[in-house]
Structure 1
Amino acid sequence: MNINPELKRNAWLELSAHRMLAMPAILALIFNLAYLTAGNDFWKQMGIYAVISYVALVVLWGGKLASEGLIREVDGQTWDNQRMSVIGPWSMSWGKLFGSTLFPWYGGVICLAVYLFARLQTGYSEEAVKVAAILLLVGVLAQSVGLLGALLLARKRGKGGSRRYTGLYLFAILGVLWLLPLLQHAGSQSQVDWFGYHYPIIDFVLLSLMAWAGWALIGIYRVMRVELQFTNTPWVWLLFVTFLLVFLSGFVPGGGRDPQLIALSRLLVSFAVASLLLYFLLFSESKDVVALRRLFINLRSGSMKTAAENLPLWLLTLMVVAGLATALLFELPFRSVFMDRNVISQWFPLAALLFMVRDAALLLALNMSLRTRWADGAALVYLLVLYGLLPAVINLAGWSGGRSLFYPLPGGDVSSLIAPAVEMVAMLVFVRMRMARLSVES
């Protein structure tokens, strides 16, 4: 039987005899505390203690280990040696994910078993199984997001990563938020409105977590492929972006409103979500000048397949944003509900797109510097100045119309496109000059 070597290595490190005996002993003391404090609600109290223990072990501690372990390997300069081993990307992915968290899962499985046993004593068998499945998926999702964040940081090859893992670890804590509506409404008749249909909240959360955990595992696998010098096609990422936009836009309330207004609202939500995703990728992805230059060479030579495999995710997402902006440009004039209220003009999405291209060019230009350690931090400061400080100063000076120089105004007319277009072209020219300079210096 072939055992995953990464999983085997972590099993030897994590599952010592002392720890294997200590975990159930400590949990037994915790559950005994539930017995001593519960009174007549012993089984209910036992289930609550089991859930809290599971969250602490698998979600919080497991998420911490999943994100921290890889970053420490990068800082310790052992990750590069592992990347050159014969372990494939899939084996490395799940070996890293579940290997570093074996001990928390050992305790988590005990907690799940205790929870199921306690809930079954009260007769709620179906809800108990569903809640246990949700707890299991929350743990997988929290740890997967933690490891995925660590892999993205490893791709940036930042130093001092072990001191910065806390930022990634916060993603794991978000997994706990899935528990709040579940623990409040499990077993009730509460429902979720999604695309105008109503679903029981426990079933909706369960199916949603299955989808999100699956995407998180796919994300780990694809980033691991890049780390191990494999290439990825863009279609899986585009499929994920489509899923994300459809999933979130489905929460736009329907009720008795105009169907055209509902459709437009969902399109606007998709545009906003894709824009936020673009900025997240701009700051999280590695902006390698050599890779960008190779992309341009592939495009000029007509090697479209190779170019597609080397497209950065932020550029793919920018294409999605551009498509949504184009759709809004043609849709908004026909949606009189928005136009009559002067809430948003048809030029707003296009102006926003031009500003996004400007911001992307700014980040690229700063990362093309010979000293790129603080490039993303400097870009964040500049964006805060452009979107916050300068507009505030101009507005206080009495020139409210000057705000369109720095960010898109919802009710702006066609003239509001001039400033972002000029700024975008200027930044693209600046990027071209930096690339030419780097070519000469190299």
Structure 2
Amino acid sequence: MLFNAEFRRYLWVELNLHRVVVMPLVLAGLFYLTWITRSYETLWNPRNFLLTSFMILTLIWGVRQAGDTVIQEVLQRTWDTQRMSILSPWSMTWGKLFGSTIFTWYGALLTLVALYLVIINHYPFFPEDRLWQLMLFAVGCGLLAQALSMMFSMLNIVNGTMEQRRHFSTPLIIGLLFSFFFFIGVEHLFHTPLDQEPIIQWYDYFVPLTPFALISMGALLLWSWLGVYRLMSMELQKHKGPLMWLLFLIFLCGYAAGFVPVTRSMAAEDQQLLKLGSALLIITAMTYLAAFFESKDLLAYRKTLFHARRGDLIALFRALPLWWVGLCLVVAVQITILFTPFRADFIQATVSHDLTAPLHIKWALVAALFFAIRDLALMQLLYLNPKAKRAKLTILLYLTLFYVLLPEVAKAVGLESLLASLFYPVATKDPLIIVSPAVVEALVVISLAWSRWKGLMRAA
């Protein structure tokens, strides 16, 4: 990584002699003041000072640095020059992510070394295994928060929404959320003995909570790095296609399936049904997120249709929007569920429903699919409006209207049983009543989005 030109540039800028000398002096001075005024009966002690210093350096300052590294280039009009350099997307990703935060990590590593010495010398009964878990957890929190901060800032740059914005609040939000998560984890590590560690069941494995959380954090960190790399590739006009996104969805489904509460006494069909249900929920949620955040470049859609007309399958796959891939997976999982037999006693135990009344779960799943298609088409309809200023906020308002406000109004006026099928799937209704409203709403929104698309094509 030292041979990365972008990383070396940050080394020269961030780690000049003045900064390298001042950082340990400031930390040492503050640590000394904490040491001479310490009170182990309160929270004011060197251990907590070092943990707080690490949090500020990595989760507040470092997250801000990672989130601003490319944004500042855009605002200072130097990003276009860097985009034309010979650096690969991978080199640019590593250089920006680790170079922009190198100074904060310099201070953070000093605090970790001091924390290790303090605990070893003044907390002799603290297990060394737990100490190393604490170190790994702290470093993992910092790396993950900074990677997510840069990923969300790259999303804004790829979507072209940063040029008019001088203040970027997402890094601060990420930093505060991870700071809260960090202190919860530290509290657990300090006050939970190793022999009382909660046990997590994942598939047929029983793993202590802390090692499992560290492994999960490591996996999420790798995926976040890959996400930053993919966005950087898009920004450098070297598109990688949706394969990485597809693999991430498969990973999420496989990871979540390990937590599905299945027992050996359950029938194989019932276990499969529960795991497919969890996969359906995850893929649907991620498809909504992809449609909400992904760039709505008109030219990109035209390129996708162009490759489809030519029959160039490889180019078509590379040009596919991520939410198209997610929607295809949703349909595939839906079809698999529809062809999976539903046992009556399992459904009764799962949904707590009296089976003397008809329950059309499969028809409700079909309706849910069309409601999702309606929502995705609505997002495209609003994004394709050239006059829209706050399309994302408008989408959130519409979804709140459809799924919260209108159902509550219908409930308040006593029409919930009559109008419920207009807002969400109701499995207790007749199949025609369950599916028809969702299909009609989806077709109406799709026709409006298609009409707007054709209008934009004629104007282009």
When the two structures are superposed, what TM-score results if normalisation uses the length of structure 2? 0.87
**Deviation digits for residues 364-394 of structure 1, max 9, x if unmatched?**
1222222243222222222222222222222
Q: Does 2:440 correspond to 1:422? A: yes
Secondary structure at the counterpart of residue 346 of structure 1: helix
Q: Does 2:289 correspond to 1:284? A: no
**Deviation digits for residues 187-226 of structure 1, max 9, x if unmatched?**
5231222224321122112211111111111111111111
**Distance change in 2, residues 1:373/1:71 (3 Å):** farther
Task: Indicate the residue corresponding to 1:363 in structure 2.
Answer: 379
Secondary structure at the counterpart of residue 418 of structure 1: helix
Task: Indicate the residue corresponding to 1:405 in structure 2.
Answer: 422
**Distance change in 2, residues 1:195/1:240 (3 Å):** same
Task: Indicate the residue corresponding to 2:245 in structure 1.
Answer: 237
Aligned with residue 385 of structure 1, among 386, 401, 407: 401
Report the number of matched residues: 441
Deviation, 1:399, is: 1.6
Q: Does 2:124 correspond to 1:106? A: no
Secondary structure at the counterpart of residue 193 of structure 1: strand
Secondary structure at the counterpart of residue 192 of structure 1: strand
Deviation, 1:306, is: 0.3
- Please report the RMSD computed on the Cα atoms of aligned residues, expressed in angstroms: 2.7
Aligned with residue 203 of structure 2, among 195, 213, 233: 195
Partner amino acid for 2:457?
A: S
CA distance in 1, matches of 2:251, 2:50: 34
**Deviation digits for residues 198-255 of structure 1, max 9, x if unmatched?**
2112211221111111111111111111111112143221111111122233233456
Secondary structure at the counterpart of residue 286 of structure 1: coil
Deviation, 1:143, is: 0.3
**Deviation digits for residues 146-190 of structure 1, max 9, x if unmatched?**
000011110111146655521354234433415524541465231
Greater Cα shift, 16-25 or 419-428 = 16-25
**Deviation digits for residues 111-148 of structure 1, max 9, x if unmatched?**
11112223333263222223212211211111000000
**Superposition pairs for residues 5-154 of structure 1, below 5 Å?**
5-38=5-38, 45-121=45-121, 122=124, 124-154=127-157
**Superposition pairs for residues 282-321 of structure 1, below 5 Å?**
282-321=291-330
**Deviation digits for residues 272-301 of structure 1, max 9, x if unmatched?**
222221221122111122211221221121
Deviation, 1:45, is: 4.6
Deviation, 1:93, is: 0.2
Deviation, 1:439, is: 1.5
**Superposition pairs for residues 197-276 of structure 1, below 5 Å?**
197-254=205-262, 258=266, 261=270, 263-276=272-285
Does the Cα contact within 8 Å between 2:59 and 2:175 map onto a contact in 1? yes
CA distance in 1, matches of 2:429, 2:38: 62
**Superposition pairs for residues 317-328 of structure 1, below 5 Å?**
317-328=326-337
Task: Indicate the residue corresponding to 1:342 in structure 2.
Answer: 353
**Deviation digits for residues 252-272 of structure 1, max 9, x if unmatched?**
345687465554333322222
Q: Does 2:380 correspond to 1:375? A: no
Deviation, 1:40, is: 7.0
CA distance in 1, matches of 2:341, 2:369: 16
**Distance change in 2, residues 1:432/1:64 (3 Å):** same
When the two structures are superposed, what TM-score results if normalisation uses the length of structure 1? 0.91
**Distance change in 2, residues 1:321/1:396 (3 Å):** same
Does the Cα contact within 8 Å between 2:34 and 2:46 map onto a contact in 1? yes
CA distance in 1, matches of 2:385, 2:94: 36
**Distance change in 2, residues 1:325/1:164 (3 Å):** farther
Deviation, 1:427, is: 1.6
Does the Cα contact within 8 Å between 2:156 and 2:162 map onto a contact in 1? no
CA distance in 2, matches of 1:248, 1:161: 39
Does the Cα contact within 8 Å between 1:366 and 1:379 map onto a contact in 2? yes
**Distance change in 2, residues 1:347/1:164 (3 Å):** farther
Partner amino acid for 2:194?
A: S
CA distance in 2, matches of 1:2, 1:60: 26
Q: Does 2:187 correspond to 1:180? A: no
Deviation, 1:411, is: 4.4
Deviation, 1:417, is: 1.1
Aligned-residue identity in percent: 30
CA distance in 2, matches of 1:354, 1:245: 22
Secondary structure at the counterpart of residue 333 of structure 1: coil
**Deviation digits for residues 63-91 of structure 1, max 9, x if unmatched?**
12111232233333332222122211011
Does the Cα contact within 8 Å between 1:364 and 1:431 map onto a contact in 2? yes
CA distance in 2, matches of 1:429, 1:175: 43
Secondary structure at the counterpart of residue 362 of structure 2: coil
CA distance in 2, matches of 1:223, 1:140: 18
Does the Cα contact within 8 Å between 1:142 and 1:173 map onto a contact in 2? no
Secondary structure at the counterpart of residue 212 of structure 1: helix
Deviation, 1:327, is: 2.6
CA distance in 2, matches of 1:73, 1:183: 39
CA distance in 1, matches of 2:277, 2:2: 50
Greater Cα shift, 265-274 or 156-165 = 156-165
